[in-house]
């Protein structure tokens, strides 16, 4: 797999302080910590609906990518220049040892072709996935970001692609209301569809 390095600003003093604090954290079971846009955010694991969506997606992705050399993962650290995220799901090589981060705390974002977040209730959670993580994943150059959002009208899937790290934005953005199939445009999950079989209540 050919990985294109992403060039961005060097790590700042704040990044280093947050990185050291994040590494030293000892959270109780059921919580996770992420470094998102200059802050450490601690959140509980998702509710039942969140687990249902994540597991439907994971099982369907496993079947779709069978034999591709890639697989879906959950509950793992994706690392980029002393930033750390725990996506609900991410796609990576079947052998994660191919894409370690420098300190062996997770995987390097440069080897992750897709991340998926299932939005949790609450203004802060919604804004994190729709806005802050969207910018962070684009800065890291992650090719595809999928947001499964129960709270966008009657529900919608957002498929974002073609990241521009300098602008912290995705050039392609498609919003697909629940009841219609959202299609992954590129990468090892290309052609994978997210429809009612996954988003149904």
Give dist(CA 77, CA 56) in Å, integer: 21
Q: Which pTM was predicted?
A: 0.91
Using CB atoms within 10 Å of the CB of residue 40, give its burial: 0 to 12 exposed, 13 to 18 middle, 19+ buried. middle
pLDDT recorded at residue 127: 95
For residue 22, which of 34, 36, 11, 37 has the smallest C-alpha distance?
34
Alpha-carbon gap, residue 97 to 110, rounded angstroms: 13
- Report residue 80 as tokens: 């980029």
Would you write out the chain's pLDDT as a tens digit for each of its 201 residues? 444 444 455 667 888 999 999 999 999 988 999 999 999 999 988 889 999 999 999 999 999 999 999 999 998 999 999 999 999 999 999 999 999 999 999 999 999 999 999 999 999 999 999 999 999 999 999 999 999 999 999 999 999 999 999 999 999 999 999 999 999 999 999 999 999 999 999
What distance separates the 2 farthest-apart alpha carbons in the chain? 46
Chain segment 108-129, per-residue pLDDT in tens: 999 999 999 999 999 999 999 9
Instruction: Give Cβ neighbours of residue 186 (< 8 Å, ≥ 6 apart).
Output: 113, 143, 144, 161
Nearest to 106 by CA among 132, 82, 71: 82
């Amino acid at each position: 797999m050919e990985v294109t390095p992403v060039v961005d600003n060097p790590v700042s003093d704040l990044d280093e302080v947050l990185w050291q604090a994040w590494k030293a954290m000892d959270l109780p079971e059921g919580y996770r910590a992420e470094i998102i846009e200059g802050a450490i955010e601690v959140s509980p694991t998702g509710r039942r609906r969140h687990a249902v969506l994540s597991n439907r997606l994971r099982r369907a992705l496993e079947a779709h990518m069978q034999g591709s050399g890639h697989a879906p993962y959950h509950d793992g650290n994706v690392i980029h220049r002393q930033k750390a995220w725990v996506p609900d799901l991410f796609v990576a090589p079947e052998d994660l040892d191919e894409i370690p981060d420098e300190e062996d705390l997770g995987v390097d974002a440069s080897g992750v072709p897709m991340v998926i977040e299932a939005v949790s209730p609450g203004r802060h959670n919604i804004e994190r996935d729709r806005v802050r993580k969207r910018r962070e994943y684009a800065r890291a150059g992650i090719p595809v970001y999928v947001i499964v959002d129960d709270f966008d009208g009657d529900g919608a899937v957002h498929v974002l692609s073609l990241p521009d790290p300098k602008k912290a934005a995705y050039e392609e953005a498609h919003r697909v209301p629940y009841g219609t199939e959202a299609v992954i445009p590129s990468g090892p999950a290309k052609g994978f569809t997210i429809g009612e079989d996954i988003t149904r209540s």
